[in-house]
Structure 1
Amino acid sequence: MDTSVMGRRGRAVRVALFIAGLTGVASLVSGCQSDPDIDITAYAQTIEPADVLYNQGLANIQAGQLTEASRKFQAVDKQHPYSEYARKAMVMSAFTNYRQGQYSEAINTASRYLSLYPNDEDAAYAQYIVGLSYYRQIPEVTRDQRTSARAIAAFTEVIERFPESEYVEDSQAKLRYARDQLAGKEMQVGRYYLERKEFVAAANRFRLVVERYPNTRQIEEALARLVETYYAMGLESEAQTAAAVLGHNFPDSQWYADSFNLLRTGGLEPRENKGSWISRAGARLVGA
């Protein structure tokens, strides 16, 4: 075959391959541009400045649009991680979750903030949100009180770690309520044992209230129930001491009147034994 023909054919093949290559590249580029998952231009257009997103979130809160506000704050965290606005948005995201009753999300977000920025200026507020989120889930006293215990731990953290913060006073008030719930649960169980005449078990529950929760609303009944329980067990000195402590701290209480009358049916009267654990516990009461 003529070498010139072979040369022309060789050049034709190379040209064809080159054109085919260009076509393939063009097809690949066209395919990439039509794929919404990797359209860089479209993706870039979805990124908004951190300050714009954050301020939009604040505006949504003012308008009462908490769901949209939450989306904006989450967008700041995702699109601008580790920025100053991401830090602030994390706290606001915890707040909007709390306001919407999404307590688990609020706790998780606030806890994440505290793990990343434990000494930040908003750390006290984040810890306060954790406490509030548990507090709002405290059930009635007849149910399990683990949430009360978690609220106590969270508010105690606010008080101890951030004693100068503006959230201390409210944390203390809510702490008292949560502690009263725990004491109320112990009283409920103690009354159950007392009704069944399981006096040792009942006395242990009432004692726990007196020793662990002395400054709750349950203390008057707890002391009166100890009088009743110890009297039923024949432990007269302990019954008299419980009545004496009750009378010293709450002289006008109906619980004291009932305890006094109970002792009189057995020819006894309130008399404090200074060596009793009840006497030592009584010294810590509010009215002592």
Structure 2
Amino acid sequence: MKYILVFLFSLAIVGCAGNDELPDIAADTGEQQIYEEAQRYLRSSNWDLAVRSLQLLESRYPFGKYAEQAQLEIIYAHYNGYEHEAAVEAADRFIRLHPAHPNVDYAYYMKGLAAYTGNDDIFSRFLPTDESERDVTQAKEAFAEFNQLVSRYPASPYAPDARARMVHLRNLLARHEILVANYYFRRGAYMAATNRGRYVVENFQRSPAVADGLAVMAQGYILLGLDDLAKDTIEVLALNYPNHPNIDKNGNFKSVYTLDGLQRNWINKATFGLFFPPTPPQFDTRPKL
């Protein structure tokens, strides 16, 4: 209980800090002075006042020497203040106004980063969840934005991090498809499940989820009565992933439903199917945390 109270108190402090009033700045205050004030807010992580100071600087000195830098730092401040949509809008504005700017790659990078963390908030730090179980719309957007960056500016200093995040996003999207396939198996939608597995195999070749995608396809074909396709898929799975948990030492497919039919446990058999019925097939071979 003590830790909960401390956490709530810290949130209250954050909330109060966000309501600070921007000090009155005289109309004749110089560009340099306003910029330095904004930098002070950035250094102290007072993102709200940093944004407002930078916006004031831009409005008063739209053609000044700090105007373009202020626009870039507004993106940064919005992002750090968990205002991801505002960060994307600010980045879009900079790209539109300065398409040939030497730092425009930073705007593309921040667009991807804002989408990448778009589902995150302060609570996600304390209540971690499986990313692949969430809505992946923003993950797809982030992948597209990072892809734009590495395609347009492959030598950008932000490109290596963008590529690394793209690998993570690709694996995340592939795993999401497997989880959706598992859901379809539970609902008895075998064709839909099979299609999800095939989508992973065809579109995420370098993802660790490909092995489960093949297992999903094999299981789906078995349940659909497409034994020839099931055998071909099992051969591919056994050849490329012989240690997959759904492949036995002889290269045969192991699951609740195999080419030999439904595999029931002895209690289920002894009770004529009344107890411990076979559970729907599920595929998720990620290491357990």
Q: TM-score, normalised to structure 2's length?
A: 0.70
Q: 1:83 aligns with which of 55, 64, 73?
A: 64
Post-superposition shift, 1:265? 5.9
Post-superposition shift, 1:136? 0.6
Q: 1:113 aligns with which of 94, 103, 110?
A: 94
Post-superposition shift, 1:187? 1.9
CA distance in structure 1 between the aligned counterparts of 2:205 and 2:247, rounded to whole angstroms: 16
1:265 and 1:193, CA in 2 relative to 1: closer, same or farther beyond 3 A? closer
CA distance in structure 2 between the aligned counterparts of 1:58 and 1:254, rounded to whole angstroms: 55
Which amino acid in structure 2 is aligned with residue 74 of structure 1?
A: Q
Q: 1:262 aligns with which of 254, 261, 264?
A: 254
- What's 1:177 paired with? 168
Matched, 1:49 2:30: yes
1:224 and 1:167, CA in 2 relative to 1: closer, same or farther beyond 3 A? same
Query: Any residues of structure 2 matched to 1:60-79 within 5 Å, and which?
Result: 60-79=41-60
- What's 1:245 paired with? 236
Post-superposition shift, 1:202? 1.6
Which amino acid in structure 2 is aligned with residue 152 of structure 1?
A: F
Which amino acid in structure 1 is aligned with residue 72 of structure 2?
A: V
1:227 and 1:103, CA in 2 relative to 1: closer, same or farther beyond 3 A? same
Post-superposition shift, 1:238? 1.9
- What's 1:136 paired with? 117
- What's 2:15 paired with? none
1:196 and 1:71, CA in 2 relative to 1: closer, same or farther beyond 3 A? closer
Q: 2:190 aligns with which of 195, 199, 203?
A: 199
Are 1:220 and 1:255, in contact at CA under 8 Å, matched by a contact in 2?
Answer: no
CA distance in structure 2 between the aligned counterparts of 1:252 and 1:44, rounded to whole angstroms: 68
Q: 1:124 aligns with which of 105, 120, 123?
A: 105
Matched, 1:223 2:214: yes
Which amino acid in structure 2 is aligned with residue 86 of structure 1?
A: A
CA-to-partner distance for each residue in 1:136-192, whole Å, 9 max, x for gaps?
124733333211111111111111111001111111121122223322332222222
- What's 1:93 paired with? 74
Are 2:41 and 2:47, in contact at CA under 8 Å, matched by a contact in 1?
Answer: yes
Helix, strand or coil at the partner of 1:214 = coil
CA-to-partner distance for each residue in 1:64-122, whole Å, 9 max, x for gaps?
33333222211111111133311110000110110111111111111100111112111
- What's 2:7 paired with? none
CA-to-partner distance for each residue in 1:182-223, whole Å, 9 max, x for gaps?
223322222222223322222111111111122223211111
- What's 1:186 paired with? 177
Post-superposition shift, 1:251? 2.5
Q: TM-score, normalised to structure 1's length?
A: 0.70
Which amino acid in structure 1 is aligned with residue 112 of structure 2?
A: G
Q: Which has the higher helix share?
A: 1
CA distance in structure 2 between the aligned counterparts of 1:119 and 1:241, rounded to whole angstroms: 52
- What's 1:33 paired with? none
1:256 and 1:265, CA in 2 relative to 1: closer, same or farther beyond 3 A? closer
Q: 2:154 aligns with which of 163, 168, 172?
A: 163
Post-superposition shift, 1:59? 3.0
CA RMSD of aligned residues (A): 2.5
Structure 1: unaligned runs, 5 residues or longer: 1-42, 268-288
